DNA sequence: CTTCCTGCAAAGGCTTTGCAAAGCT
DNA sequence: AGCTTTGCAAAGCCTTTGCAGGAAG
């Protein structure tokens, strides 16, 4: 069990590998290439922490030449999820959907302070193993999971 | 690790104990008694599985003399949560919020088939223990958690 | 030329909120 | 009386959808 290492920002080559993985999926599905979709993917891969759809749209408005409409971002995100670049996260926050990069990043879960909102990312191999065994014993093939621990952090608990 | 026992429906006395627990909270908070709130609590405590706000509102429309507006149910549910009668659940389903009774019911988590939607409730003492240790090691005081395993059940995986 | 993609605006679905009447204490 | 609670309707918010023009293959 350990603290997940802080998000090691993806360098330009990493982003490029992510785009290639995206292209592999879109080709396989018979989709066309799209500069806008790649711009969204770039923005998502470049983010270091948790982000919302609006965060991405905002990055794109300020950052590059392409300024996708947020409806487009909503349409692209499920593709990025399917391509394994990002994943929904912080589902207990309630206010809107959040994502985080999963591409070339170690799997982790979250410990969340319900008072100040601080988030600790952890990884427990023991829990992962138990989950697998559990699923197996019920005849399930596990594809993903949501595991968020809610409580008060040291600062808020005093 | 085991299958959580099927919800042992609360009998009338159990419901009454639940209402008492609710009254304890409302008194402590200086709230007033309310027949409508208790009707919602009764409906929630009487449900056996997972339910939505609309499910409750519907029960109340058909069941008793009181027919609370759904806005009222939305206002009452957080109080029932705080009183420890119910809890949000199936957060990964996405479509609206679901609740389930926690009062006089063993804690459990969920294994969910993303294809057919079937849900298995399980309890793993080992995982619970690991969670506690984990929170402790990061200086958190745990108050609750969300743990949902997503995958394909035996039927859908063939 | 056929199919996919994008922007825009509108619709949708769930949940919250403002207000006035009604209910507790 | 003074505060909470309720119903109702309206507003809010996030997300999805229909459509028409544009881009890719």
User: Are A152 and B144 an interchain contact pair (Cβ–Cβ within 8 Å)?
Assistant: no
Give B4's contacts in chain A (Cβ within 8 Å): none
What token pair was written down for B4?
């959580």
Res. B102: pLDDT tops 90: yes
A9 touches B: beta carbon within 8 Å: no
Minimal Cα distance from A111: which residue of B? B135
First to last CA, chain B: 25
Q: Model pTM?
A: 0.92
The tens digit of pLDDT for each residue in B5-19 reads 666 799 999 999 999
User: DSSP secondary structure string, A6-21?
Assistant: P-----HHHHHHHHHH
- C14 nearest neighbour residue (CA to C1'): B96
Q: Are B104 and B90 in contact (CB under 8 A)?
A: no
Tell me how far apart the alpha carbons of residues B51 and A76 are, in angstroms, rounded to a whole number.
Answer: 32
Burial B54-69 (b: 16+ CB within 10 A, else e): ebbbebbeeeeebebe
Q: Quote the pLDDT of residue B4.
A: 67
Q: pLDDT of chain A along its 158 residues, tens only?
A: 777 666 679 999 999 999 999 999 999 999 999 999 999 999 999 999 999 999 999 899 887 667 899 999 999 999 999 999 999 999 998 788 999 999 999 999 999 999 888 999 999 999 999 999 999 999 999 999 999 999 999 999 88
Sign of CA dihedral A54, B93, B58, B60: negative
């Amino acid at each position: 069990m350990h603290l997940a290492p802080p998000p090691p920002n993806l360098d330009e080559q990493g982003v490029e590998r992510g785009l290639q993985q995206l292209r592999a999926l879109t080709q396989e599905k018979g989709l066309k290439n799209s500069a806008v979709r790649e711009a969204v993917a770039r923005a998502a891969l470049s983010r270091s922490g948790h982000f919302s759809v609006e965060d991405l749209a905002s990055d794109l408005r300020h950052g590059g030449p392409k300024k996708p409409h947020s409806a487009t971002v909503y349409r692209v995100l499920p593709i990025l999820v399917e391509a394994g670049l990002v994943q929904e996260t912080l589902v207990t926050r309630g206010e809107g959907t959040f994502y985080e990069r999963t591409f070339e990043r170690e799997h982790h879960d979250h410990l969340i302070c319900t008072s100040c909102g601080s988030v600790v990312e952890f990884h427990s191999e023991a829990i992962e193993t138990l989950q697998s065994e559990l699923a197996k014993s019920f005849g399930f093939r596990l594809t993903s999971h949501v595991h968020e621990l809610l409580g008060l952090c040291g600062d808020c608990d005093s």
